[in-house]
Amino acid sequence: MDIDLYFGLRDFTDYRLGDLYPLKDENIVTCGGEGYAECPECHKDFFVVCHVTQGRIEQVEVDLSKNGYIP
């Protein structure tokens, strides 16, 4: 599933879990950031939180505290 992440360098490169993720500040190696996705099957949209640990994408989870844009 494609997820648009709203932190990092926004270089439009495809990343997978476990990949190194370039952050704007090279001194930060662990952080969490927001992303947005749409299910390719049902087209329901939702927000996610992406966890980067030691510079790698370690976990992506649905952010249940935010509603998507599509009703």
Q: How confident is the model at residue 62 (pLDDT cuts 50, 70, 90)?
A: very high
Note the pLDDT tens digit of each residue in 5-45.
878 777 778 888 999 888 877 788 788 899 999 999 999 99
pTM > 0.75: yes
Q: What are phi and psi of 57, to 5 degrees?
A: -75, 115
How sure is the predictor about 65, in pLDDT bands with cuts at 50, 70 and 90? very high
* Angle made by CA atoms 49, 68, 50, in degrees to the nearest 5: 10
Question: By the 8 A CB rule, do 32 and 52 touch?
Answer: yes
Looking at the chain, the number of H-run helices and the number of E-run strands are: 0, 4
Model pLDDT for residues 38-51, shown as the tens digit of each residue = 999 999 999 999 99
Task: Please say whether the beta carbons of 50 and 3 come within 8 A.
Answer: yes
In this predicted structure, the answer to whether residue 71 has a pLDDT above a threshold of 90 is no
